[in-house]
Amino acid sequence: MGQLNKIYRTPLTLLTDLYQLTMAYGYWKQNYEDRESVFHLFFRKPPFNGGYAITAGLEQAIDLMTDFHFNDEDLEYLASLNGNDGQPLFENGFLSYLSDLQFTCDVDAVPEGSLVFGNEPIIRIRGPILQAQIIETALLNIINFQTLIATKASRICSAAGDDDVLEFGLRRAQGIDGALTASRAAYIGGCDATSNVLAGKLFGIPVRGTHAHSWVMSFDDEYEAFERYAESMPNNCVFLVDTYDTLAGVKNAIEVGKQLRLNGHEMVGIRLDSGDLAYLSIEARRLLDDAGFKNAAIVASNDLDENIIQNLKLQNAQIAVWGVGTKLATSFDQPALGGVYKLGAIRDTNGQWKPRMKMSEQVIKTSIPGMLQVKRFKNEQGFVADMIYDELTEIKHANTIVDPKDPTRHKKINTESTCEDLLIPIMRQGEAVCSNRSTNEIRDYVKDQLAMLHPGTKRFMNPHEYPVGLELNLHALRNQLIEDARDHVVTTEIEL
């Protein structure tokens, strides 16, 4: 049973926009439903004005596609929908077709936890157009959010350096699924643990936490609260010290820590949740060290993100563990990734592949045609550049790429660089052909990937742009389709 089934215990095939179903109905009415097509899921630019993104959510996407089917309740609901004339929106023959529909597409994807950049396909779906179309919304929902959170987590963990980062966002997350998938993606992105117990159970993530202000406030004084907590859980004592007076709270924690030590236990640390974190952590560290608690960690929370952590580090804050909640789990400074899903090619009635491209007056929104793959070049220092190419077209010059946003920018890649294709087989004829990796394995893979990326591209401000470009023949194809589309518009206007 997949993870989504464990949570929802019902197929999620109706987790889609209505227009996916109306288009599916149209394909069926036109006897078009089985025409082979290729769609690509990608984003146009990395989030947070950063230089990269980390893919996440593929495992749940596989669960979704593996369990793709319409049950009786789904079909009954669809039968109840009416058009603007009051008549059924879908005829019974279409609903009967859906009742037998199985997912038979081929799926190729970048491995979860990979570094990806703008315009690169993260997932490629090849198969009957009706099936490939109908799963668009759910795939975007899963991949967009988890990729966003994994990327945010990696930035936060980069700012924290060797310190532990804990994900504390459950109470502020966008609903139940937003909380669960945020915890998973944050762990993949580099966080060390979560406060979310259900996420810990489902995804094998370490869970951490002790007590809140309400515990302290439920006793007559802070010292008694710490003492009673130590009696209750002597092996889990991180005392929250800022309920009344922070430094006085540190002193109370020290006294209770001495009692713990006499009883054969050790105070884990203290937590700061308000005030001047730099000043308070420095003073708290001095008090703890002077009292013989050099190993007691100082944990900090309170609306942290990568920029605040970086700033506190510059102020020599004595914080060893960072609890990051709202700004991580909700991706506070950028609430959506903006990933899209576009048709790249379709077979005609003669069985020939025809490239397809969405036109736009904005260059960044003009899609890339073909059956796309990404070739990543690397050397001993790390990743060098990525080439987007069309598997239906011969590669003209294997070491030259063209910026899809600016055709005047060409880059030659050192021929001594090695390369590999990023999209790998995930499903064939609707059956999974890859083995699942644990969240720990994906998390380790993320660390290896980031180690291969130039530090300039990982900067928070004005990162160096990692080179991503089109193979020359693909660039030429795209330009030709643009010219053809413009000529068609001019001809149509003249005819009118």
**335-347 average pLDDT score:** 96
Q: If you write DSSP's letter for every residue of 425-457 in order, what string do you get?
A: EEEETTEE-S----HHHHHHHHHHHHHTS-GGG
359 — pLDDT class (breaks 50, 70, 90): confident
Question: Could you tell me the sign of the dihedral formed by the alpha carbons of 288, 292, 294, 296, in that order?
Answer: negative
Are 77 and 14 spatial neighbours (Cβ–Cβ below 8 Å)?
yes
User: What is the reported pLDDT for 496?
Assistant: 43
Length of the chain equals 496
8 has pLDDT over 90? no
Per-residue confidence at 436, pLDDT binned at 50, 70, 90?
confident
Asked if pLDDT for residue 110 goes beyond 50, the answer is yes
Q: Which residue has the higher pLDDT, 493 or 478?
A: 478
Q: What was the pLDDT predicted at 327? A: 97
Highest-confidence segment of 7-21, 275-289, 382-396, 480-494: 275-289
pLDDT for residue 494 is more than 50: no
Q: Say what percent of the chain tops pLDDT 90.
A: 89
* DSSP, res 86: S
Token output for 407: 């055709």
**Residue ranges per structural domain of the chain:** 34-68+103-134+339-491, 150-329
Q: What is the CATH number of domain 34-68+103-134+339-491?
A: 3.20.140.10
The CATH class for the domain spanning 150-329 reads: alpha beta
207 and 195 Cβ atoms separated by less than 8 Å: yes
Q: Please say if the pLDDT value at position 362 is more than 80.
A: no
Whole-number average pLDDT of the chain: 94
Mean pLDDT (whole number) for 482-492: 70
pLDDT given for residue 201 in this prediction: 95
Band of the pLDDT at 235, cuts 50, 70, 90? Answer: very high
Backbone φ, ψ for residue 288 (5° rounding) = -65, -45
**What letter represents residue 49's amino acid?**
N
Q: Phi and psi dihedrals of 321, rounded to 5?
A: -135, 135
pLDDT in tens, 388-424: 999 998 887 778 999 998 888 999 998 788 999 999 9
Q: What local confidence, expressed as pLDDT, does residue 3 receive?
A: 67
Contact 337, 344 (CB under 8 A): no
CA distances from 14 to 19, 69, 192, 271 (A): 12, 9, 35, 44
Q: Identical fold at 34-68+103-134+339-491 and 150-329?
A: no
Residues 414 and 401: their CA atoms lie apart, in Å, by 12
SS3 254: helix
* Beta bridge mates, 376: 386, 420
Contact 241, 225 (CB under 8 A): no
Structure confidence at residue 108 (pLDDT) = 98
